[in-house]
């Protein structure tokens, strides 16, 4: 897809990701941090905000926040909590405990598979709200048109990390990649299971546009209710076009929050309240400041597994490719880079290893032993197997449990490389058999080559190498010019 | 010290605080608050440059608890206190305005 | 009988806890109709609890240092299954599903809860006239206020309904009613006593403390309730020094400073008692002098910006959704507003308005932000004073108990009652009010000792000396 939504305009996107932390208990109390239980059974005086209750911070919440901060190269700082005051029935205290101007993580970055770097402004801790369901009327579960609502506080007090990116994203693809990469990091570090469809990762997009070449930012709108990476992409595209249309018509973009409607494929103004929210932030008096020691930071840093960007770099170097190479990206994305590395170390051909991983192995390709994969690729580069033959051998290796000898399997299947003379005979026979197609091919229609490849394969019982057949066809054609 | 609190300010504050005040109450409170705030002008005389705000009287840091599940409340006991409940949840009238 | 004497008699089997509780319930029945110290008398529960204590004694077990001692609890302390109203319509009939830590501790020490006492609504007030259920009357003169906000607790002790009571103090709400009712009342160092289960008014100021007839009783109760609680993040970690063991050690050699700034605006009869207290301390071997703590004059302003600001946030949860009063309306926002309008009294609404305003956009720096800085100045001035002095001496209140209705129309005049008690909670310091004779109309006067953080033991020693001097 082209980088620009509309010629002459530039897209500017910042993403705010809220992710539920993978702890046993809630952020300020010992209720289980668990999804799917009977309503209002995982509650206590603290997370219900009963009169007289007080919060106590969960150590593991801090550990995970530090881990994420270290993973995205943030400055992990002393921090305090603030109260964000507003009324809403799913808020037990009618204020949310969050972090305001002294958050735990500040100033990091995240590297996309393409190598493009997106800045991270901050990542801070806060508590989640309860969940309300809307009933009655004809609203079908949506708030507008409903008659009443029911509130479940099981989710109230679940720990959240809000990760805010710089407005560095310029394409829909970058937006998708950012979410994908962030998710991979959250999962790899054990910070969150980050499932958008289940709500343990929620993404809001801040979208604005400006004329190409402008340095000032345009007015932005916040888009909410994005339930999948696909919705994210569609919503950004729609919103960008909406804003461009307004601006081209000489109108202004109004700064507001908009709701993405998956059904009609548009963003809509959320019904605005009479008064803008004034959250009256002030430091939370019931909690004391957080000042993680250098030791804690160092130990969190040391506990980090190799992260996707790092793994791509390592595999890229070992296979002599770029970090954005599709084979490299695919291997890391699907957790098969370890296999790739070991196969390469065992003497496998890096290029062929990556091709097999990208195209011929699914997630359970981990069951193939690296030495076997390495041996297979060696046969290919030594000319003993064609690509097509190697694919078939690999499938058999997998079927046999992953530890079978590819040499033996190839022999059993009767695979051996074709000698050039036999190949030329088969190709010439195929040409002779279809003069109409040959004419077209001579005329420059390359697509018709398939008419010959098929018969050649048949005649050679699959031993021919498709690439070699095509090369011969072209050589014959060139010879006639 | 900022200007005297106006009736408009007070009305706005009442909305923020979800207090439905009668016109009478609003007028009375505005007057009383203005009077109280006037007394507070005494702190304007102080030089507070470089003074750190004090949010907590006793300095503690890093008070944490272990991530271990504890007891929850009995739902029946909790919902027995609810003004309205249905299907194990708290029931409220329609919520106007956007989702939080 | 004092609490200490009762506990000794019950523990030794000399007296039964049932006998003790019946005696106190009888007094309550006779006079609380007039005084209204209690929102709720728990006669049957008290009898059952006393029976448990007697069973323990009979079985050779020790019920604890408060064995069989009746205790009254301010009605902003959560008691599971028992209405906890904060003297507000918005919590009328609310039964918490849990109990405050301090209540667990006193019960574990053998005390017998006889009832929940009246207070100014949500602890906002200095006379208990802001209660939604009617005022409490001063036992010394029922036409007068008992003080507030712990007026019910102070009156209960003064009227002999229970030797002990728990109250809460945010700007003086234990000490001021203690002074007006002629009993001992004390506010601990912030963090010394757990706030878990205390319905919050102003989180960075609130503390729970004892009220009693005698200093020894107050000290005994303090030692039971004080100490780290993992359920309160602001609770001071580690063991705290008990105050009872050193209670009789006197004040010989202690340097005691009379706070200069806490004299103007104080009635002459009250000042006279403070001066007499100074003499008594001198006679007991202390070196008494004047000391200036300049920033305390800004205490009222700082307090009446910080406390309402925190309160406006703490009281937001009363929205008719999960518990308490609900006034129906077509939508939730209007339900919240109608519920709060009907459920809160005037003073509470006023403070919520004031606090919301002080925090609001454009005003935070001028009001709340500034008040937090003034607070630091006050703490610093106290710190400086304590480099030269071990304890400070001051009046508790500007006057003796005033007539019911005398100050209800002028909020600021009411706020002026707290001028001597406000600075300590701002700094987080402990302070105690000790009855020290009488003033105008023969009404009780209390004098205040202030101490540095965690020097309760020293402070109680001084209080004991004062108590002896007027015996």
Contact A338, A318 (CB under 8 A): no
d(CA A192, CA C112): 49
Question: Is residue B53 situated within a structural domain?
Answer: no
Q: Which domain holds residue B27?
A: 1-45
3-state secondary structure chain C: CCHHHHHHHHHCCCCCHHHHHHHHHHHHHHHHHHHCCEEEECHHHHHHHHHHHHHHHHCCCCCCCCCCCEEEEECCECECCECCCCCCHHHCCCCCCCCCHHHHHHHHCCCEEEEEECCCHHHCCCCCCCCCCCCCCECCECCECCCCCCHHHHHHHHCCCCCEEEEEECCCCCHHHHHHHCCEEEECCCCCECCCCECCCCCCCCEEEEEECCHHHHHHHHHHHECCCCCCCCCCCCCCCCCCCCHHHCCCCCEEEEEHHHCCCCCHHHHHHHHHHHHHHHHCCCEEEEECCHHHHHHHHHHHHHHHHHHHHHHHHCCCCCCCCCCCCCEHHHHHHHHHHHHCCHHHHHHHHHHHHHHCCCCCHHHHHHHHHHHHHHHHHHHHHCCCCCEEEEECCCCCCCECCCCCCCHHHHHHHHCCCCHHHHHCCCEEEEEEEECHHHCEEEEEEECCCCCHHHHHHHHHHHHHHCC
Q: Which of A61, A273, A288 sits opposite B63 (nearest CB)?
A: A288
Give B68's contacts in chain A (Cβ within 8 Å).
24-25, 30
Q: Which pLDDT does position C415 carry in this prediction?
A: 85
Contact A127, A21 (CB under 8 A): no
Q: Which of A51, A83, A89 sits opposite C199 (nearest CB)?
A: A51
* Sign of the dihedral through C-alpha C75, C76, C79, C81: positive
* Domain extents in chain A: 14-208+276-302, 308-412, 420-479
* Sign of the dihedral through C-alpha C407, C413, C415, C417: negative
Identify from B74, B94, B96, B97 which residue to disrupt to test chain A contact, counting A C-beta atoms within 10 A and taking the largest count: B94
- A304 touching C, CB under 8 A? no
Residues 6+ apart with CB under 8 A from A368: A339, A361, A394, A397, A398, A402
List A residues 122-161 in contact with C (Cβ-Cβ < 8 A). 149, 151
- Number of B:C CB contacts under 8 A? 171
A133, burial (CB in 10 Å: exposed 0-12, middle 13-18, buried 19+): middle
The reply to whether residue C340 touches residue B52, judged by beta carbons under 8 angstroms, is no
Q: Which of B65, B73, B89 sits opposite A152 (nearest CB)?
A: B89
Q: Which pLDDT does position A461 carry in this prediction?
A: 77
Classify each residue of C64-80 as buried b or exposed e, where b means 16 or more C-beta atoms within 10 Å of its C-beta. bbbbbbbbbbbbbbbbe
Contact C184, C463 (CB under 8 A): yes
Distance from CA of B69 to the nearest CA of A (A): 5
Contact A44, A29 (CB under 8 A): yes
Q: Which of C100, C230, C332 sits opposite A52 (nearest CB)?
A: C100
- C298 touching B, CB under 8 A? yes
Please choose, from the candidates C133, C139, C134, C170, the residue with its C-alpha nearest in 3D space to the C-alpha of residue C153.
Answer: C139
The C-alpha angle with vertex A339 and arms to A338 and A342, in degrees rounded to 5, equals 85
Q: Which pLDDT does position A305 carry in this prediction?
A: 94
The pLDDT confidence band at residue A364, using thresholds 50, 70 and 90, is low
By residue count, chain B amounts to 100
Q: Which residues of C are catalytic?
A: 74, 149, 173
User: Which chains lie within 8 Å of chain B at 3 or more CB pairs, if any?
Assistant: A, C
Q: Which pLDDT does position A6 carry in this prediction?
A: 82
d(CA A129, CA C321): 14
Give B25's contacts in chain C (Cβ within 8 Å).
349
d(CA A287, CA A57): 8
Identify from A131, A143, A156, A285 which residue to disrupt to test chain C contact, counting C C-beta atoms within 10 A and taking the largest count: A285
Distance from CA of C391 to the nearest CA of B (A): 19
List A residues 100-159 in contact with B (Cβ-Cβ < 8 A). 129, 132-134, 143, 146-153
Question: Is residue B89 situated within a structural domain?
Answer: no
A434-465 pLDDT, tens per residue?
A: 999 999 998 888 888 888 888 888 888 777 77
By residue count, chain C amounts to 471
ipTM of the complex: 0.97
Give C349's contacts in chain B (Cβ within 8 Å).
19, 21, 25, 29
Please choose, from the candidates C186, C257, C264, the residue with its C-alpha nearest in 3D space to the C-alpha of residue C223.
Answer: C186
- C-alpha distances in angstroms, A278 versus C305, C352, C361, C372? 18, 15, 6, 20
Residue A267's beta-bridge partner residues? A260
Q: In what order do the strands lie in the sheet with C255-259?
A: C38-41, C112-117, C70-74, C164-169, C207-212, C184-187, C431-438, C444-450, C391-395, C255-259, C287-291
CA-based max dimension of chain A: 94
CA-based max dimension of chain C: 70
d(CA C390, CA C251): 10
Q: Which pLDDT does position A272 carry in this prediction?
A: 53
Phi-psi region of C249 (alpha: psi -120 to 50; beta: other; left: phi over 0): alpha
A87-123 pLDDT, tens per residue?
A: 999 999 999 999 999 999 999 999 999 999 999 999 9
Q: Which pLDDT does position A1 carry in this prediction?
A: 40
The number of distinct structural domains making up chain B is 1
Least CA distance to C78: which residue of chain A? Answer: A52
Give B37's contacts in chain C (Cβ within 8 Å).
354
The pLDDT confidence band at residue A4, using thresholds 50, 70 and 90, is low
Contact C233, C190 (CB under 8 A): no
Q: Which pLDDT does position B2 carry in this prediction?
A: 64
User: Which chains lie within 8 Å of chain A at 3 or more CB pairs, if any?
Assistant: B, C
Question: Is residue B59 situated within a structural domain?
Answer: no
Q: Which of A92, A94, A282 sits opposite C368 (nearest CB)?
A: A282
The reply to whether residue C298 touches residue B42, judged by beta carbons under 8 angstroms, is yes
Q: Which pLDDT does position A3 carry in this prediction?
A: 56
The reply to whether residue C301 touches residue B39, judged by beta carbons under 8 angstroms, is yes
Q: Which of B36, B78, B95 sits opposite C354 (nearest CB)?
A: B36
Please choose, from the candidates C191, A388, C55, the residue with its C-alpha nearest in 3D space to the C-alpha of residue B60.
Answer: C191
Domains of chain C: 3-247 (3.90.1300.10), 249-301+366-470 (3.90.1300.10)
CATH code (residue B38):
1.10.20
Distance from CA of A53 to the nearest CA of C (A): 6
Please choose, from the candidates C69, A274, A23, the residue with its C-alpha nearest in 3D space to the C-alpha of residue B65.
Answer: A23
Per-residue pLDDT at A139 exceeds 80: no
A150-193 pLDDT, tens per residue?
A: 999 999 999 999 999 999 999 999 999 999 999 999 999 999 99
3-state secondary structure C440-462: HHHCEEEEEEECCCCCHHHHHHH
> What pTM was estimated for this model as a whole?
0.91
A11-33 pLDDT, tens per residue?
A: 999 999 999 999 999 999 999 99
A242-269 pLDDT, tens per residue?
A: 999 999 999 999 999 999 999 999 999 8
Please choose, from the candidates C166, C173, C155, the residue with its C-alpha nearest in 3D space to the C-alpha of residue C225.
Answer: C166
The pLDDT confidence band at residue B99, using thresholds 50, 70 and 90, is very low
Question: Is residue B71 situated within a structural domain?
Answer: no
Least CA distance to B53: which residue of chain C? Answer: C373
- A228 touching B, CB under 8 A? no
Concatenated DSSP letters of chain B: ------HHHHHHHHHHTT----HHHHHHHHHHHHHHHHHGGGGGGS--TTPPP---SS-----EE---------HHHHHTT-SSEETTEEEEEB--S---
Residue A241 backbone phi and psi in degrees, to 5? -65, -40
Mean pLDDT by runs of 10 across the 471 residues of chain C is 97 97 98 98 98 98 98 98 98 96 98 98 97 98 98 98 98 98 98 98 98 98 98 95 97 98 95 98 98 96 96 98 97 97 97 95 91 97 98 97 91 85 98 97 98 98 98 86
Q: Which pLDDT does position A274 carry in this prediction?
A: 40
Of the CATH numbers 1.10.3470, 1.10.10, 3.30.365, 3.40.50, which one belongs to the domain with range A420-479?
Answer: 1.10.10
Give B20's contacts in chain A (Cβ within 8 Å).
none
CA-based max dimension of chain B: 58
């Amino acid at each position: 897809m082209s980088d620009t939504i509309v010629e002459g305009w530039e897209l500017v996107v910042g993403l705010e990701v809220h992710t539920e932390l993978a702890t046993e208990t809630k952020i300020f109390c010992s209720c289980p941090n668990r999804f799917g239980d009977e309503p209002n059974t995982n509650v206590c005086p603290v997370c219900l905000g009963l009169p007289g209750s007080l919060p106590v911070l969960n150590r593991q919440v801090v550990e995970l926040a530090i881990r994420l901060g270290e993973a995205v190269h943030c400055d992990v700082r002393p921090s305090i909590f603030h109260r964000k005051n507003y009324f809403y029935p799913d808020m037990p205290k009618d204020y949310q405990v969050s972090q305001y101007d002294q958050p735990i993580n500040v100033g990091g970055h995240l590297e996309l598979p393409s190598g493009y770097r997106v800045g991270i402004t901050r990542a801070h801790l806060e508590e989640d709200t309860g969940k309300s369901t809307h009933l009655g009327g004809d609203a079908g579960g949506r708030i507008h048109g409903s008659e009443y609502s029911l509130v479940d506080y099981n989710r109230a007090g679940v720990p959240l990390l809000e990760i805010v990116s710089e407005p560095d994203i310029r394409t829909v693809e970058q937006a998708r990649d950012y979410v994908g990469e962030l998710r991979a990091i959250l999962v790899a570090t054990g910070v969150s299971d980050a499932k958008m469809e289940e709500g343990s990762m929620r993404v809001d997009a801040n979208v604005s546009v400006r004329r190409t070449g402008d340095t000032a930012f345009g007015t932005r709108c916040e888009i909410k209710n994005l339930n999948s990476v696909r919705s994210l992409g569609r919503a950004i595209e729609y919103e960008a076009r909406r804003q461009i249309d307004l601006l081209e018509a000489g109108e202004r973009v109004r700064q507001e929050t908009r709701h993405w409607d998956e059904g009609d494929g548009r963003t809509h103004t959320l019904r605005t309240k009479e008064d803008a929210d004034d959250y009256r932030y002030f430091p939370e008096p019931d909690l004391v400041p957080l000042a993680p020691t250098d030791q804690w930071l160092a130990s969190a840093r040391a506990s980090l597994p190799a992260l996707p960007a790092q793994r791509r770099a390592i595999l890229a170097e070992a296979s002599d490719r770029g970090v954005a190479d599709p084979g490299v990206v695919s291997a890391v994305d699907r957790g098969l880079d370890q296999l790739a590395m070991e196969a390469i170390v065992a003497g496998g051909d890096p290029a062929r290893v990556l091709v097999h991983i990208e195209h011929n192995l699914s997630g359970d390709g981990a069951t193939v032993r690296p030495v076997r994969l390495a041996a297979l690729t060696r046969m290919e580069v030594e000319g003993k197997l064609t690509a097509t033959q190697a694919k078939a051998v690999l499938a058999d290796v997998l079927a046999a449990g992953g530890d079978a000898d590819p040499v033996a399997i190839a022999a059993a299947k009767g695979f051996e490389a074709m000698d050039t003379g036999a190949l030329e005979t088969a190709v010439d026979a195929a040409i002779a058999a279809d003069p109409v197609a040959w004419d077209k091919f001579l005329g420059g229609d390359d697509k018709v080559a398939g008419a010959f490849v098929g018969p050649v394969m048949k005649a050679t019982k699959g031993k021919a190498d498709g690439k070699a057949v095509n090369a011969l066809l072209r050589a014959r054609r060139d010879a006639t010019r | 010290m900022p200007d005297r609190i106006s009736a408009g300010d007070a009305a706005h504050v009442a909305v923020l605080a979800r207090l439905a005040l009668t016109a009478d109450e609003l007028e009375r409170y505005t007057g009383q608050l203005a009077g109280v705030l006037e007394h507070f002008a005494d702190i304007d005389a102080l030089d507070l440059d470089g003074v750190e705000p004090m949010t907590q009287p006793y300095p503690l840091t890093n008070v944490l608890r272990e991530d271990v599940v504890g007891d929850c409340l009995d739902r029946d006991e909790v919902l027995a206190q609810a003004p309205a409940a249905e299907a194990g949840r708290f029931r409220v009238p329609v919520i106007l305005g956007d989702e939080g | 009988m004092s609490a200490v004497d009762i506990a000794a008699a019950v523990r030794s089997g000399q007296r039964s806890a049932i006998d003790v509780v019946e005696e106190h319930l009888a007094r309550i029945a006779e006079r609380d109709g007039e005084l209204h110290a209690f929102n709720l008398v728990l006669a049957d529960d008290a009898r059952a609890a006393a029976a448990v204590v007697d069973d323990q004694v009979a079985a050779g077990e020790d019920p604890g240092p408060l064995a069989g001692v009746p205790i009254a609890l301010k009605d902003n302390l959560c008691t599971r299954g028992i209405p906890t109203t904060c003297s507000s319509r918005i919590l009328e009939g609310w039964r918490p599903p849990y109990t405050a830590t301090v209540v667990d501790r006193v019960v574990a020490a053998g005390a017998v809860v006889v009832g929940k006492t009246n207070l100014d609504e949500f602890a906002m007030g200095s006379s208990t006239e802001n209660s939604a259920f009617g005022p409490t009357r001063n036992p010394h003169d029922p036409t007068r206020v008992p003080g507030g906000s712990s007026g019910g607790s102070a009156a209960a002790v003064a009227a002999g309904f229970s030797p002990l009571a728990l109250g809460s103090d945010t700007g003086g709400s234990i000490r001021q009613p203690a002074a007006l009712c002629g009993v001992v009342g004390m506010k601990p160092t912030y963090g010394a006593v757990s706030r878990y289960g205390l319905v919050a008014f102003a989180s960075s100021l609130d503390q729970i403390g004892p009220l009693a007839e005698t200093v020894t009783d107050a000290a005994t109760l303090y030692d039971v309730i004080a100490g780290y609680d993992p359920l309160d993040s602001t609770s001071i970690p580690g063991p705290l020094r008990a105050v009872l063991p050193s209670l009789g050690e006197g004040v010989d050699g202690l340097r005691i400073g009379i706070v200069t700034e806490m004299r103007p605006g104080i009635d002459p009869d009250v000042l006279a008692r403070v001066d007499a207290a100074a003499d008594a301390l001198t006679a007991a071997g202390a070196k008494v002098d004047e000391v200036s703590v300049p920033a305390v004059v800004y205490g009222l302003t700082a307090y009446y910006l910080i406390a309402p600001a925190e309160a406006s946030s703490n009281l937001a949860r009363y929205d008719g959704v999960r518990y308490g009063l609900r006034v129906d309306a077509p939508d939730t926002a209007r339900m919240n507003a109608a519920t709060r309008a009907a459920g809160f009294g005037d003073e509470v609404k006023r403070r919520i308005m004031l606090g919301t305003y002080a925090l609001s956009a454009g005003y935070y720096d001028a009001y709340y932000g500034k008040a937090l800085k003034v607070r630091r100045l006050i703490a610093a001035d106290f710190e400086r004073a304590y480099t030269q002095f071990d304890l400070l001496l001051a009046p508790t209140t500007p006057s003796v108990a005033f007539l019911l209705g005398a100050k209800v129309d002028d909020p600021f005049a009411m706020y002026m009652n707290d001028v001597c008690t406000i600075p300590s909670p701002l700094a987080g310091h402990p302070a105690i009010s000790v009855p020290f004779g009488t003033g105008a109309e023969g009404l009780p006067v209390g004098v205040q000792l202030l101490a540095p953080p965690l020097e309760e033991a020293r402070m109680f020693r001084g209080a004991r000396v004062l108590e002896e001097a007027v015996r």
